[in-house]
Amino acid sequence: MWVNILVCLLTHLIAGMSVSFDQSFSCYADSGNFTTNTTYAKNLDFILHSLPNNVSEHGGFFTVTVGQGSNKAYALGLCRGDLTSYVCHSCVKFAADDLRARCPNQKETVSWSSDPPCILHYANRHFFKMLELNPTTFVHNNRDITSNLPQFDTVWESLMDSVVTKASNGSSTLKYATGKANFTASKTIYALTQCNPKLANNDCDSCLRELVSFYKVCCHQKQGARIQNPNCWLGWDLHGFYVPNPATTAPSLSPPLAPGTPLTITKEDKEDTQEVQLLDLVLGSVPHENSSGDFNLENVGRSLDFPSIQLDILQAATNNFCDENKLGQGGFGLVYKGTLPNGKEIAVKRLSITSDQGLLEFKNEAWKLWSKGEGMELIDEHLVESSVPAEVLKCIQIGLLCVQVDPANRPTMTTVVSMLGSDSITLPIPAEPTFYGGHFAAKPIQPNS
C-alpha cells in the first residue's frame, strides 16, 4: 500500500499541487442514529468487514444488503474504473474505517475519501438505483489558469460533454470514461467521469451534467479538481492522473477554435511520457476487466500484498527478456522494458537465477535504501535530474509514516496535506513496515546522513 500512497504524494508534489477540500464524507443526520451492539450495528459491521473484498473481487463495484425490516443494512462500494483490485481493496477499506470513525452512530453515510477515490455509501434504506444529487462536494488544487481562460473553458466544456456521453452510455457493470484535449499547443486537459452503474443511462447523464454545472460555482479557473455526489463524480487536471484504456476513452472532438490558437483533441491509446508510464507501473495500475485485448485481471495476481502478472505474459511482453529490451541492472537482477497486448509499456525486474532471495527481500530493498540514506535510489533515473532531493525524500518519509504497523501512528490525510505544504513541520521517524521480515516489533528507522 505504501507504494501507492508514495507515488500519489510524489506525483502531486512534482506537479506543484496544493489542494483545498470541501468535504470528503457526509454523515446523514436526518436518517437517524443507532447504538452499539444492536442488530442494525451488527449487520452494518458485517457488511463493512466484507465489502473491501467483495468490491475488489467483482470488478470494482458491489452492492449488498443484510438483515430484515428496520434492521436491514444496505451498502454500495464503487472504485474508480482504472484501479487494480489491490488499490481498490485498500481504498474501500480506508473509506470504511474512516466513515465508522467520523460517523460512528449515523445510520447513513457516504464517503469519497482516498486518492485515487472510491465511493462508499451505506444506509438503512434501499438507494442503489436512485438518482440522488446531494450532497455535492469537491476538492481542487490551488493553482489557477492564468492565461487563455476563455479557450480553456471552451475546450473544458466540449471535453466534458464527450466524456459524460461516453460514461452514461456504459454498461450495467461499468459507466466510466476518460479523455484529453489540448487547449494550447503545450497544455492538455485530462478528464474522467464515472457513475454508479446501477443508474439508468439517462440518470447517469443527468448526474454528471449536474456536476458539470457546478464547475462555475466551486472550481472555475482551477487547473484541476474533482466534483462528486453520492452517485457520480468527475475530475480533471493538466497532467495525466488515470490509466488510459481505448475501451473507455471518449472519441475525438472538433470544438470551436479561438482565433489564432491551434487546437487538437486526440484519442488516447497510452501516455506518451516514460515518467507517467513508470509511475503507473509502480502504482500497480493495470487495465480494467472490461479492457480490450487478451490482457485482463484473470492474468493478474489478486494478492493484496503485491500485484503480479503471469510469467508467460511477461515473456511475450519483453520478447522473452531479450538483450535488446534490457534497461539496466539492479541488486536483484536485470530490468527489461516490455509492451503488454493492450499497448501499455511496462518495466520488469527479473530476479537473478543465482540469487536465493525472493519477493520479500525484493520489497525490503526499498526500505533498506531508505535506512542507508540512499532514498534517491528509489526514483527512476529519468526523474532524478528534474527532482528536488529534499522534497523527494520528504515524500518517501511521509509514505513510510502512512503504513506504520500501529494505525494510531499513521498520519491522517489532513496531516499529510499539512506535511506536504509546510517546510517547518518536523516529520516523525518511521518504523519498519509491516511486511519487514526481520521481526514483528516496530522500531524507528533513521536514515543515515
Q: CA-to-CA distance for 26 and 24, rounded, in angstroms?
A: 7
Confidence class for position 337, pLDDT limits 50, 70, 90:
confident
The proportion of the chain whose per-residue pLDDT surpasses 90, expressed as a percent, equals 37
β-pairing verdict for 73-79 and 61-66: antiparallel
Mean pLDDT of the chain: 76
Same domain, 165 and 119: no
Q: What is the CATH number for 205? A: 3.30.430.20
Q: CA-to-CA distance for 58 and 53, rounded, in angstroms?
A: 8
- For range 397-414, the mean pLDDT: 78
Q: What is the pLDDT of residue 322?
A: 85
Q: Pick the most confident of 97-101, 176-180, 293-297.
A: 176-180
Domain finish residue from 331, 351, 371: 351
Same domain, 47 and 117: yes
214 touches 221 (CB < 8 A):
no
User: Is residue 407 a part of any domain in this protein?
Assistant: no
- For range 165-193, the mean pLDDT: 94
Domain finish residue from 123, 149, 183: 123
User: Is residue 254 a part of any domain in this protein?
Assistant: no
Q: Choose the weakest-confidence range: 111-115, 269-273, 321-325, 344-348.
A: 269-273
User: Is residue 204 a part of any domain in this protein?
Assistant: yes
Which of 196, 344, 329 lies closest to 271 in space, CA to CA?
A: 344
Same domain, 229 and 147: yes
Q: Is pLDDT above 90 for 260?
A: no
Q: CA-to-CA distance for 353 and 97, rounded, in angstroms?
A: 42
Same domain, 172 and 225: yes
Domain that holds residue 323: 274-351
- For range 250-261, the mean pLDDT: 51
Helix (H, G, I), strand (E, B) or coil at 120: strand
Which of 419, 414, 422, 418 lies closest to 115 in space, CA to CA?
A: 414
Which of 9, 103, 20, 121 lies closest to 65 in space, CA to CA?
A: 121
DSSP-assigned letters across all residues of 4-47: HHHHHHHHHHHTT--EEES-SEEE-GGG-B--TTSHHHHHHHHH
Helix (H, G, I), strand (E, B) or coil at 214: coil
- For range 274-279, the mean pLDDT: 30
Q: What is the CATH number for 327? A: 3.30.200
CA angle 190, 4, 140 (to 5 degrees): 40
Same domain, 146 and 113: no
Same domain, 68 and 148: no
Q: What is the pLDDT of residue 335?
A: 76
86 touches 307 (CB < 8 A):
yes
* Cell, residue 70: 428496520
* Cell, residue 282: 509502480
Query: Could you read off the pLDDT of 44-95 as tens digits, one per residue?
Result: 999 999 999 999 999 999 999 999 999 999 999 999 999 999 999 999 999 9
Which of 434, 428, 433 lies closest to 446 in space, CA to CA?
A: 428
Q: What is the pLDDT of residue 358?
A: 53
Same domain, 155 and 227: yes
User: Is residue 346 a part of any domain in this protein?
Assistant: yes
Domain finish residue from 318, 351, 384: 351
144 DSSP assignment = B
Query: Could you read off the pLDDT of 222-240 as tens digits, one per residue?
Result: 999 999 999 999 999 999 8
* Cis peptide upstream of residue 251 (ω within 30 degrees of 0): no
Q: In what helix (H) or strand (E) does residue 417 lie, and over which residues does it extend?
A: helix 413-421
Same domain, 304 and 239: no
User: Is residue 205 a part of any domain in this protein?
Assistant: yes
Same domain, 41 and 97: yes
- For range 336-353, the mean pLDDT: 74
Does the annotation place 270 within a ligand binding site? no
159 touches 151 (CB < 8 A):
no
Same domain, 157 and 234: yes
User: Is residue 256 a part of any domain in this protein?
Assistant: no
User: Is residue 372 a part of any domain in this protein?
Assistant: no
User: Is residue 284 a part of any domain in this protein?
Assistant: yes
Q: CA-to-CA distance for 94 and 114, rounded, in angstroms?
A: 7
Q: Pick the most confident of 179-188, 203-212, 408-417, 424-433.
A: 203-212
Counted domains in the chain: 3
Q: What is the pLDDT of residue 355?
A: 52
Q: What is the pLDDT of residue 437?
A: 36
Same domain, 206 and 309: no
177 DSSP assignment = E
Q: CA-to-CA distance for 54 and 337, rounded, in angstroms?
A: 34
Q: CA-to-CA distance for 318 and 323, rounded, in angstroms?
A: 9
Q: CA-to-CA distance for 43 and 32, rounded, in angstroms?
A: 16
Same domain, 56 and 115: yes
DSSP-assigned letters across all residues of 78-114: EE-TT--HHHHHHHHHHHHHHHHHHSSSBS-EEE--T
